[in-house]
Amino acid sequence: MQQTLKSSVVFTGLGLHSGRSARMVIRPAAADHGIRFRRTDIALGDAVIPARWDLAERTALCTRLANGAGASVSTVEHVMAALAGCGVHNALIEIDGPEVPILDGSAAPFVRGLLACGLVRQSAPVLAIEVLRPVEVHDGAAWARLAPGKMMEITFDIDFEDSAIGHQSRHLVMKNGSFVRELCDARTFCRQADVDLMRANGLALGGSMDNAVVVEGDRVMNPEGLRHADEPVRHKMLDALGDLALAGGPILGHYTGYRAGHSLTNTLLRALFADKTNLRAIPCNPVQASGLPGVGVHLSEIPAVA
């Protein structure tokens, strides 16, 4: 069955790229509402932005959604991953600015807030997106693929020159709270040279070592080090889950990404939906529902380091 929150939960913090403070409230919503954002600082025009793949702008640094009236909200991937990973299908996210707070750079604060307020089942079945045929997209050496599968799986490979990251690979079946246990606390990461370049161009104004892992060559610059030896690839998997959540329902299929990012994952979703024979929307039967990402999650499963 679909789920929503028992009550509202509030988050406040700076936007990673804008550096602006924002207050965000995630509210319960009726069955079949889906996930929608509403800009409370916009008085005129349509301020509601559905969390849909076709409203995503393909950018490299984050996922930005914009509706036809020009209202937008950026850096939605972490909160979308938290909602998907906790099994929240319906919510209204009210925010008083253009960017979701980055908090600690992971999805763990969102997960903690969602699970602390509690979830409630609704009298409507979960509609899943079943992948029927393999779909693959490329961008230079990077590529991403969705292939048929009985439940959602994510495989990811990254390869960086900086030896503090290097080559990392991980595979995870996204069921029974595995997102909460394995991925939700993985923070966004970047190279020191990238930070300097972004700030020179007016970006990453809210970024710091409090909300990102910064590496330079073979060194992790953060005094506390990494939360996991392979934290970077775990975070890429977190991002992928958040971006795939824009499909409008849980995906039954295997996502594989090699050096992929937000833009390429959105390109993959566009390719998936471009041909109706690639997929079908189905109500989950009990066996399928039992393997969805948010089934059986508990607050105690959030890693202690987050």
What CATH number corresponds to the domain at position 197? Answer: 3.30.1700.10
Q: CA 265 to CA 270: how far, in whole Å?
A: 9
**The pLDDT of residue 304:** 67
CB 151 within 8 A of CB 252: yes
Q: Which CATH number belongs to the domain containing residue 91 in this structure?
A: 3.30.230.20
Instruction: Give 193's pLDDT tier (boundaries 50, 70, 90).
Output: confident
Domain boundary among 121, 156, 182: 121
Q: CA 270 to CA 289: how far, in whole Å?
A: 25
Do 96 and 138 reside in the same domain of the chain?
no
**The pLDDT of residue 177:** 87
Do 172 and 78 reside in the same domain of the chain?
no
- Stretch 265-280: mean pLDDT: 98
Domain boundary among 90, 121, 152: 121
List Cα–Cα distances, 63 to 54, 76, 122, 224, in angstroms: 12, 6, 29, 28
The token pair that represents 168 in the structure block? 């990392």
pTM for the structure as a whole: 0.95
Domain boundary among 121, 142, 177: 121
Do 142 and 234 reside in the same domain of the chain?
yes
Instruction: Give the pLDDT confidence of 49-83 residue by residue, as tens digits.
Output: 999 999 999 887 899 999 999 999 999 999 999 99
Instruction: Give 102's pLDDT tier (boundaries 50, 70, 90).
Output: very high
Closest CA to 160 of 168, 151, 152, 149: 168
Do 101 and 221 reside in the same domain of the chain?
no
**Within-domain flag for 306:** no
**Within-domain flag for 109:** yes
Do 8 and 131 reside in the same domain of the chain?
no
List Cα–Cα distances, 94 to 16, 22, 100, 129, 284, in angstroms: 18, 10, 10, 26, 29
- The one catalytic residue in 78, 167, 262, 298 is 262
Between residues 4 and 207, the one the model is more confident about:
4
User: Residue 75 belongs to what domain range?
Assistant: 3-121
- Stretch 104-130: mean pLDDT: 95
Do 104 and 173 reside in the same domain of the chain?
no
The two beta strands, 3-5 and 153-159, are unpaired
**Within-domain flag for 110:** yes
- Stretch 207-223: mean pLDDT: 88
Percent of the chain with pLDDT over 70: 98
Instruction: Give 192's pLDDT tier (boundaries 50, 70, 90).
Output: confident
Q: Is the pLDDT of residue 251 over 60?
A: yes
**The pLDDT of residue 115:** 95
Closest CA to 301 of 211, 176, 187, 171: 176
Q: Is 33 a catalytic residue?
A: no
Do 157 and 263 reside in the same domain of the chain?
yes
Instruction: Give 114's pLDDT tier (boundaries 50, 70, 90).
Output: very high
Average pLDDT over the chain, rounded to whole?
Answer: 93
**Within-domain flag for 52:** yes
**The pLDDT of residue 22:** 95
- Stretch 240-254: mean pLDDT: 97
Contacts (Cβ under 8 Å, ≥6 apart) of 112:
299, 302, 306
- Stretch 115-119: mean pLDDT: 94
Instruction: Give the pLDDT confidence of 131-152 residue by residue, as tens digits.
Output: 999 999 999 999 999 999 999 9
Task: Report angle CA 9, 183, 104 to the nearest 5 degrees.
Answer: 50
Q: How many domains does the chain have?
A: 2
